[in-house]
Structure 1
Amino acid sequence: QANVQTARINLGYAYVTSPITGRAGQQQVTEGALVGQGSATLLTTVSQLDPLYVNFTIGVNQLNELQTAAEQGDIQLTAPNKTTVTITLPDGTPYAEPGTVDFSAPTVDPATGSVTLRALLPNPKFRLLPGTYVTLRLALGERHNAFLIPQAAVQRDITGTYVLVVGKDGKVAHRNVTTNGTQGVDWIVTAGLTAGDSVIVSGLQRMQIGGQAKTEPWQPPASTAKLTGAAAAAAKAADGK
């Protein structure tokens, strides 16, 4: 029995077991080659494909702005272990599996002024491969008192950014607004609007400040709905939580 056990142990030395589950890359040595003479020999590289890690960075200035907004009550940040990410593939196709942030570096890279983060992303169909560059969207929290406004509604002049709204009296008014980036095809408006405001999206060329306007619900460009008469399409400002 001792000889059998010794033989099994020696036979086990002929097998190399990967410490992780994944896909092996190109072999670095050929069958029959002598390996392990005084130092470790690289046989191959095993890449873990499911799940995958996505490494990315975020500017320290952006983090400071988020923290300041959270202290002022404008933003409610998500818990570190519940921050979600979604990615878009290089061809513009949305990736179906969302991920979560599982690591954030405790220091800032002085060369780039950014912090390194890492997301854990399911990859059950092996759609993604290590080394692929993707576009990542990070959901860090919810912004309070913010509104999504179609880009066509936002105008600019020498005084800044503004929109035209229709008041309760049916008259067109000029309203200065503050924008903070975009989400999809919409501007994120953080100041200047209140819930329920009717923002004019189309027919802007025919509008005059103080003039009367009749509004109709606005439809995205893909819609087949058409405006009739002198009506202006308006989008209701809704809380952008």
Structure 2
Amino acid sequence: MQRFGKNKIVPSALIVAVVLTGLVLVSGCRDNNPPPQRPAPEVGVVTIEEQPVALTTELPGRAAPFLMADIRPQVNGIIQKRLFEEGAMVKAGQVLYQIDPAQFEAVYAAAKAALDRSQSNLASVQARADRYRELLAAKAVSQQDVDDADAALSQVRADIEYWKSELEKAGINLNYTRVTAPISGRIGRSSVTAGAVVTAYQPVPLSTIVQLNPIYVDVTQSSSELLRLGRDLETGKITNGTDATKKVRILLEDGTPYPHEGTLQFRDVTVDPSTGSYVLRVKVPNPEQVLMPGMFVRAVVMEGTAPRAILAPQQGVARNTKGEPLALVVNSDNVIKQRILTVERAIGNQWLVLSGLSAGDRVVVEGQLNIRPDMTVKPIPADIPSSGETPAPAPSN
């Protein structure tokens, strides 16, 4: 018994009953109002569409001169002068070296004198032969005299032709003492100085001239890629044959895009057995002469166009423990499903998907950390900006 005030006494059993009744009422209220369920998580999705895509491949290559000429002497002699500045532009026909012409001038003069002597004898020998023919009719000379006169005339005529050829040869050799540029372009360093002895067609060139505008870029591609490209063209997976497929973008050695676009000239007709690759030659404008022969570059070559390509955003593609590409897709019931993909290459910020996705699929690109397969979600369209970056190498499947 407990006392409250002076005269009121409340039994302990009554207090316990009141407390128990309150607990029962509170428990009943909780059973009638269950806790609210968590809402479905929101995820950003991108709807896959088929679209034409230009397919390119990035290949290594080196710059090569459009024209190149090694300067070699064509006669023996001593260099008198060098008549150009190393590294300067020269024009075709410009004199580069002067070889001592003294002995060649003497040979030319001797040949000219011999020709003049033969030509001066021609008139008298011709007249003698004519008189002997007239005298033969009157039987004043014998036939032998006439034959000797005709032979002498033929000899003089042959001597004239011989000395004409000797004079021409001497003139050619004399001209060769002036070593000229066979092409226009930029000339390199000189391997000789004044006073050096040179020989005709020596193995070491005096200098080299290269034409740098335009310039060639020779790139290599594996023969297996050539076979794959041929199969894709036959099956219609990609299309080709337009002028755009001949355009080639050039990347410099440091990755900087080259400002001028090249044109594919031809593909080599043989495969290098040591590397299993063949050469593609690209003609590139080079007005600023940024590209130099031997410089390493990369060429972005157009393969063709995939008319119905499937592209998936890279941020929506992950990899499992086996290294296989996978994507989370929201089905028609807004339930997450996992797809294993086969991807060929990266194009900008997207993967080119060969299998695993089709047009209309909704791929999750945002909120992947809060979901798992077979979970119901609330899809919201996501805005993924396109990227104009150079295509990256294709990942391994």
The TM-score normalised by the length of structure 1 is 0.76
Q: Pairwise mapping of residues 1-241 of structure 1 onto structure 2 (< 5 A)?
A: 14=178, 16-19=180-183, 21-31=184-194, 33-35=196-198, 37-40=199-202, 42-78=205-241, 82-157=245-320, 158=322, 160-210=324-374, 211-220=376-385
SS, match of residue 66 in structure 1: helix
In 2: Cα distance, 1:130 partner to 1:185 partner: 34
Larger Rg: 2
Is the contact made by 1:166 and 1:213 (CA closer than 8 Å) also made in structure 2?
no
SS, match of residue 145 in structure 1: strand
- Deviation of residue 42 (structure 1)? 2.1
| 2:205 maps to amino acid | L
Is the contact made by 2:245 and 2:304 (CA closer than 8 Å) also made in structure 1?
no
Q: More deviation in 168-177 or 136-145?
A: 168-177
Aligned residues: 214
- Deviation of residue 179 (structure 1)? 0.4
Q: Please, what is the CA RMSD of the aligned residues?
A: 3.0
In 2: Cα distance, 1:221 partner to 1:101 partner: 28
Q: More deviation in 211-220 or 136-145?
A: 211-220
Give the unaligned 5+ runs of structure 1: 1-5, 223-241
| 1:171 maps to amino acid | V
Is the contact made by 1:145 and 1:190 (CA closer than 8 Å) also made in structure 2?
no
In 2: Cα distance, 1:81 partner to 1:217 partner: 33
Higher helix share: 2
In 2: Cα distance, 1:83 partner to 1:213 partner: 47
Q: Summarize the Cα distance change of 1:195–1:48 in structure 2 as closer, same or farther, 3 Å threshold.
A: farther
| 1:191 maps to amino acid | S
In 2: Cα distance, 1:112 partner to 1:11 partner: 47
Q: Summarize the Cα distance change of 1:30–1:81 in structure 2 as closer, same or farther, 3 Å threshold.
A: farther
Is the contact made by 2:365 and 2:382 (CA closer than 8 Å) also made in structure 1?
no
- Deviation of residue 196 (structure 1)? 4.1
Deviations 1:92-119 (A, max 9, x none): 2111211121121112111111111111
Is the contact made by 1:28 and 1:44 (CA closer than 8 Å) also made in structure 2?
yes
In 1: Cα distance, 2:319 partner to 2:267 partner: 38
SS, match of residue 305 in structure 2: strand
| 2:201 maps to amino acid | S
Deviations 1:160-213 (A, max 9, x none): 322122345443332332200222333221223333433222211123334223
Is the contact made by 1:81 and 1:102 (CA closer than 8 Å) also made in structure 2?
no
Give the unaligned 5+ runs of structure 2: 1-167, 388-397
In 2: Cα distance, 1:140 partner to 1:108 partner: 19
SS, match of residue 147 in structure 1: strand
